[in-house]
Each structure stands twice: as structure tokens, then as C-alpha cells.
Homo-oligomer: A and B are copies of this chain.
Amino acid sequence: MDFTSGTATYPAPAAGHLDFTGACAPSHDNPASQCANCPVKVRCLTSGTTEWETVHFARLALGRRRARKGQAVYRVGDRFLFVYAVRFGSFKSTIVLPDGREQVVAFHLPGDVVGLDATATGAHPTTLTALENAEICAIPYSQLSDVSAESRTLREHLVRIAGSELVRDHKLLALIAHSHAEERVAAFLVQLSERMQERGYSPREFNLRMTRADIGSYLGTTLETVSRTLSAFARRGIVSVERRRIQVLDMDALRAARAYA
């Protein structure tokens, strides 16, 4: 994680997007220019579209929104109007259990497109909460649907985003259903490490932006178990844990510990 501080040691994306307090207009920019400069465009909706298609895409009335740590972009039950793309910062998606507790179902990093699950009912089934100060791009879904009529790439990309989420959910399901706490935490760290690397950050050193409770909820255990497991990994020299700062000392051992893809 750690998308706001400048701790990336790997070839980081142009540092401009880290400027949380920057002077960019907060909403309804021209999407063509907005997307052209967006550091995460390769992961976003426009990925793979031709120039011709980008013209159509430019018709979208995109809006940027900032979210402070702990703030919700949308909540369970909110009317579905926008799909969102993370520009920088990180988020968690949670559902509300019948007893009122929260269950984390996903963590989102820059470039992730979020909210398509709301197409099921027209209302958001999840709450999207910022884990740190962050910025997100709001894309009107009805307009997106219009534009996708004229672009096969975009049309299929929309379904592919949902499909990718399904694949991830199934892997998570398998992880929770058939592995022990240690394997879950290892898998979580490896997954995070890989996602960091994909975004140009170090896969071996990063900050967790979520609490132990969030991780525990996501992995189907308790915060105590997460804490104990991290300590155990540290004791064995696999990682170094210092509050939320994680250093992977032995990636092979970590991968071996997860026993899951």
C-alpha cells in the first residue's frame, strides 16, 4: 500500500499523482485529457481502446472525488449511478452482516474499477471506504453503457472487469474454505506484494493501510490470529513486521507458506 507517501523504491509512476492536495479540478474534467494524464490508465477502463474509441470515451462526464481516511464513497443501499476507478490511495469494500458487523470482501488499489456489483439490484450491496486519503474517478454507468454500444473493446472490458473480480473472489473463497490461518496470511501478503509490483512499487517492502481487524475479516479469522501469525513469520525470519510496515525477507518461504496460488 502506501500510495500517498513517497516510499516506493521501485520505478514508481510519475510522482504527480501522489499530490493529494494538488490543484486539479475536483469534478467534471474533460475525460480525454484527464485519462490521458492518469497514471493508472493502463489498468483502467480505457485500457486497450483505440484512439477512435477514446473519442467516444471522451463523451463521458467523469468526476473526481476525494475521500479522506475512513470516509465512505458509497454505502450499502445507495442508489447505483456511478462506477468508480481508484486514482490513488486504497479502499476496502465491506458488506454488513445481519448482526451489524462488517465483513471486508475486497481491498482496492490504484487502477481498480469498483462498483459493478451494484448492477445486480441498482443499489450498492457494499460500502466503499477509503483506507487513507485517496482520490477516485466517478463514471456515470448509463453513459458508460451508451458509449460501450459503440466499442466492442470497452463492452467486453466491462464484463471482463466483473469476471476478474469473480475469479479473485473464488480464489479467496478457496483460501478461506480450505486453509489454515498461516496459509491465509501468507497468501494475503504474497497477493499484496504482487499487486504492489504490478503498480511499480517494491514487492518486498510496503505499508499495510488496513488494520489487523480488516485483514482478519477479509481472511475469515480474528485480528489476534493475524497478529500472532505475523509475529510467527517474523520469528522465523520470513518477514519483518514493524507495526504496519512489512518487509519480506524470504519471498520463497512466504510463497511456500501459503501453499495456494
Binding site for B on A (CB under 8 A): 95, 97-99, 101, 103, 105, 116-121, 125-126, 145-146, 148-150, 152, 155-156, 158-160, 162-167, 169-174, 176-178, 217, 219-221, 259-261
Q: Which residues of B contact A126 (CB under 8 A)?
A: 170
Do B105 and A174 touch (CB < 8 A)? Answer: yes
Q: Which residues of B contact A99 (CB under 8 A)?
A: 259
Do B261 and A116 touch (CB < 8 A)? Answer: no
Do B97 and A163 touch (CB < 8 A)? Answer: no
Do A103 and B155 touch (CB < 8 A)? Answer: no
Nearest-neighbor residue (CB-CB) of A122 within chain B: B160
Do A103 and B173 touch (CB < 8 A)? Answer: yes
Do A177 and B259 touch (CB < 8 A)? Answer: no
Q: Which residues of B contact A172 (CB under 8 A)?
A: 173
Q: Which residues of B contact A125 (CB under 8 A)?
A: 167, 170
Q: Which residues of B contact A97 (CB under 8 A)?
A: 174, 178, 260
Do A162 and B173 touch (CB < 8 A)? Answer: no
Q: How far is the CA of A65 from the CA of B12 in the complex (A)?
A: 50
Q: Which 5 residue pairs are nearest across A and B when measured between Cβ atoms? A: A177-B220, A162-B162, A119-B163, A117-B166, A120-B164
Contact A105 to B162, CB < 8 A, known contacts A259-B98, A259-B99, A261-B98? no
Q: How far is the CA of A163 from the CA of B118 in the complex (A)?
A: 7
